[in-house]
Amino acid sequence: MSKENLNEKIVSLCANRGIIFPSAEIYGGVAGFFDYGPVGVTLKNRIRSFWRSEFIIKMNSIYEIESSIILPRIVWEASGHLEGFTDVLVECKKCQTQYRADHLIQDTLKIATDGKSFEELSEILIKNTIKCPNCKGELASTQKFNLMFKTHIGAAKQSVNEAFLRPETAQAMFIDFKRIQQTMRASLPFGIAQIGRSYRNEISPRNFLFRLREFEHLEIEFFVHPAGKDDLPDELWAKVKDLQVAILSIPQQEKEEEAKLMKASEILEQRIFSCKWLLYWTLISYDWLVRVGLDPSKLRLRQHMLNERAHYAADCWDIEFQYSFGWKELQGIADRTDYDLKKHSKFSKKELNIHLTEENIKVVPHVIEPSWGLERVIQALLESAYVEEKERTLFKFNSYIAPFQIAVFPLMKNREEIVERSKEITTNLKQFNFQILYDEKSSIGRRYRRVDEIGVPFAVTIDFDTLEDNTVTVRDRDSMEQERVPIKNLAEMFQKRLSFI
């Protein structure tokens, strides 16, 4: 199966099974917006829960917040987004089609454009006399286009009422930093985490879930003492020290080398990362992605080149996934230094620092930020879990990530005792909060295929023997093996097999 095919097949399966499909599709849809059906929502919920469990509940000193998505203009002045969160836009003079300049150059000239400035992109377009791919018309001059969605709070349409949908959840964590630090009585190091939607008015949304206009972020701002960026506790290093990951550092990229497998301890020794906390957050993020179910052979860590690194970052890494459309960023991990806290402190005239009582000094912490795009995780997971076998297509989701967990099938729908017993078993299992798909329509074989297709790990079939001996058939999605299990053991068995704790 070719790579292009893989994405097409996933897009089509997702639509056909109501997993993920275009928003407002009866009106023709809008590029960059998708809706999630029952399977898709539950997949999202499982990933969110698994993330919350591993990065908040089980960790120490990570505090979750939920901020508003609409934030007033001043926040984005302070953060620099109003000035700098732009892409280069170019429009066809003839047909008015709009293009993102770097994408247009990539697609037309097949050259990389990472880190190219507005001036550089404009020059390339002119030098190569690139025309509109749509109508061959002449292109107008390039312009900077701010990617934030703008709206107004209140009735007046004045700049003082301007507000923007957040393009990242991070800024609210800087704004709320002091409130959280004080009310949770947190001392350094500690983190603030947030799960929620972000908005980017992309010029050219593309690649299914990869580049969207409305999507979800999972972000942590981890605050460390500026002098303690290498002070990682031993018990945390122990969690990642045996990992082995594919690495692509700046020197490797300069020499046009391939990514190479390295042990965590080697990476540490060679000081490839700006600090040990940055390395830790990168490795623990990588480990989590593998446990979600991403194919590790398609993951690598790539360091940002100096010209693509944000001006405030001391170091920045991407966890990249080899999507069917190429190696692309799935998650970013940045050493943001004290840039954001200082900027908000300046604009709000509030002190955003921590008073260290023992030394009696005030310190502005540095920030390590791991930032995941939930939809990019989902895209990578769908590509990793999709399997075609001779007679069936399936998503091999990990049992604790699978959306629907158990299918319940009466062998035949016209035998009342069997149907009744099946419904009774469904109701009982639902008491344990298992997400269950009950289905009595069509043959058992077809029902198995249907639940394989949406990755249900277990199917329970109720048959004539059930009525005699109170046992059922439990069929495993991956091995297709069947075992006979007493009804009274089902709940406990599934609790064990479906749990990640």
- With CB under 8 A as the contact rule, the residue among 83, 95, 326, 347 that binds a second copy is 347
- With CB under 8 A as the contact rule, the residue among 3, 4, 25, 134 that binds a second copy is 25
Decide if residue 16 touches a second copy (CB under 8 A): yes
Q: Minimum CB separation from a second copy for residue 306, in Å?
A: 30
- Which residues within the stretch 264-323 sit at the binding site for a second copy (CB under 8 A)? none
- Which residues within the stretch 442-501 sit at the binding site for a second copy (CB under 8 A)? 501
Inter-axis angle of helices 38-52 and 374-385, nearest 10: 110
Q: Minimum CB separation from a second copy for residue 68, in Å?
A: 4
Q: Minimum CB separation from a second copy for residue 147, in Å?
A: 10
- With CB under 8 A as the contact rule, the residue among 9, 309, 342, 430 that binds a second copy is 430
Q: Which is nearer to a second copy, 37 or 296 (CB)?
A: 37
Decide if residue 34 touches a second copy (CB under 8 A): yes
Parallel/antiparallel/unpaired status of strands 244-248 and 299-303:
parallel
Decide if residue 238 touches a second copy (CB under 8 A): no
In contact, 476 and 413? CB cutoff 8 Å = no
Nearest to 470 by CA among 453, 486, 457: 486
- Which residues within the stretch 183-212 sit at the binding site for a second copy (CB under 8 A)? 183-185, 197, 199, 201, 203
Q: Which is nearer to a second copy, 196 or 296 (CB)?
A: 196
Helix (H) or strand (E) holding 215: strand 214-224
Q: Which is nearer to a second copy, 235 or 258 (CB)?
A: 235
- Which residues within the stretch 79-138 sit at the binding site for a second copy (CB under 8 A)? 89, 91, 98
In contact, 335 and 366? CB cutoff 8 Å = yes
Decide if residue 5 touches a second copy (CB under 8 A): no
- With CB under 8 A as the contact rule, the residue among 12, 141, 182, 482 that binds a second copy is 182
In contact, 194 and 219? CB cutoff 8 Å = yes
- Which residues within the stretch 38-77 sit at the binding site for a second copy (CB under 8 A)? 38, 40-42, 44, 53, 57-58, 60, 63-72, 74-75
Degrees, nearest 5: CA angle 394-438-435 = 75
Q: Which is nearer to a second copy, 42 or 285 (CB)?
A: 42
Q: Where are the alpha helices (DSSP H) in 349-442?
A: 374-385, 416-430
Parallel/antiparallel/unpaired status of strands 406-410 and 458-462:
parallel
Residues 6 or more apart whose Cβ sits within 8 Å of residue 281: 220, 222, 333, 368, 370
Return contacts of 105-110, CB within 8 angstroms, 24+ apart: 105/130, 107/133, 108/133
Any idea what DSSP says for residue 149?
P
Decide if residue 375 touches a second copy (CB under 8 A): no
